[in-house]
Amino acid sequence: MTNIKKIAVLTSGGDAPGMNAAIRSVVRTSVYHNIEVLGVYRGYQGMIENDFTPLDARSVRNLINRGGTFLKSARSKDFRTPEGRKKAYENLVAAGADALVVIGGDGSFTGALLFNQEFGFPVMGIPGTIDNDIYGTTYTLGYDTALNTVVEAIDKIRDTASSHNRMFFIEVMGRDAGFLALNSGIGGGAEKILIPEQHSTLEELVSEIEINHNKGKMSNIIVVAEGDTTGKNVFELKKYVEKQNPDYDIRVTVLGHIQRGGAPTCFDRVLASRMGVKAVESLLEGKSNYMVGINNDKIDLTPLEKAIKGGESKLDPDLIRIAEIMSI
């Protein structure tokens, strides 16, 4: 065991459903082990600006079901500078914190690692992003909720698409990764899914739409990951396909930030609770510079460095094959 007496916790980068549940878990696990907790508002920016609040078990009541992050989140430019990080360190030490839990994505982990390397301050990461694009964990917090939000939207669009025999391009978030698009596409029964991990051309797209048409498919749902490079964007895709066949009646829906909000699913709530416990207890065991993850349904640790640098995409290529089979 270490001498840690106060743990600081922050959320950073794009918010994700389940972040509140993770803060709650970090707070309650700390209190359980008689450790104080310091909440940091607005991510690293709050550390630089001394924007702290003490948290206890009751401060995190009625939070498990709430989307977003009550500590708020930010992408701090100042923390990218050595002066910013120094100020953050001095503030944290003055507030009595001796370890830090960072809930966020790979950009947030890069900051955490740098912070540790410069000041030797113990840090632990919890992956929170709807993109699921972090190496070292099968699932990130918020991904399951976003997936269900997208599928619900696709279901609704399907109702109107089939009523009008229309084709819909639906743009789904995910930054450079296709997890959200591929899985929501399979779950929502998409006729075609375009993801950055599998390059396809405009000609291929048009020919597949033609084949579907000849098979008697009256409407088409085409899910497009925002990072896909088949066209410039969904509007360009629509324009191109329309030009090839003006008979198609095409609409575009960009789901946008609706995918980031909403109450977390039970999966994300349980995952957040498990990850928070592991993060705090690992710090108390003297560990630092790790990210908590879930692999084969076991909560484990991956060195932050590995999580940031990544490796091969963890996207299962078999899912691409499954999507193709399901859309015949």
Q: Which residues have a catalytic role annotated? A: 131
Residue number, 122 or 231, with CB nearest to ligand F6P: 231
- For the bound state, the minimum distance from the C-beta of residue 284 to ligand F6P, rounded and expressed in Å, comes to 30
Residue closer to ligand F6P by CB (options 84, 196) is 196
Token pair, residue 49, equals 């600006």
Nearer to ligand F6P, 42 or 175 (CB): 175
Place of tokens 């007496």: 5
Residue 117: CB minimum distance to ligand F6P, A: 24
How far, in whole angstroms, is CA 95 from its chain's centroid?
A: 30
Give 143's DSSP letter: H
Minimum distance from residue 225 beta carbon to ligand F6P (Å): 9
Cβ contacts of 102 within 8 Å, gap of 6 or more:
10, 12, 108, 109, 111, 112, 123, 124, 125, 126
Residues near 214 by Cβ (< 8 Å), separated by ≥ 6? none
Q: Is the Cβ of residue 131 or residue 228 nearer to ligand F6P in the bound state? A: 131
Q: With beta carbons less than 8 A apart as the criterion, state whether 73 and 15 touch.
A: yes
Q: Cβ 256 to ligand F6P, closest distance in Å?
A: 9
Distance from the first to the final alpha carbon of the chain = 57
Tell me, what amino acid is at 140?
A: T
Write out the residues near ligand F6P by the rule CB under 6 A: 14, 105, 129-131, 173-175, 226, 260
Cβ atoms within 10 Å, residue 135: 18
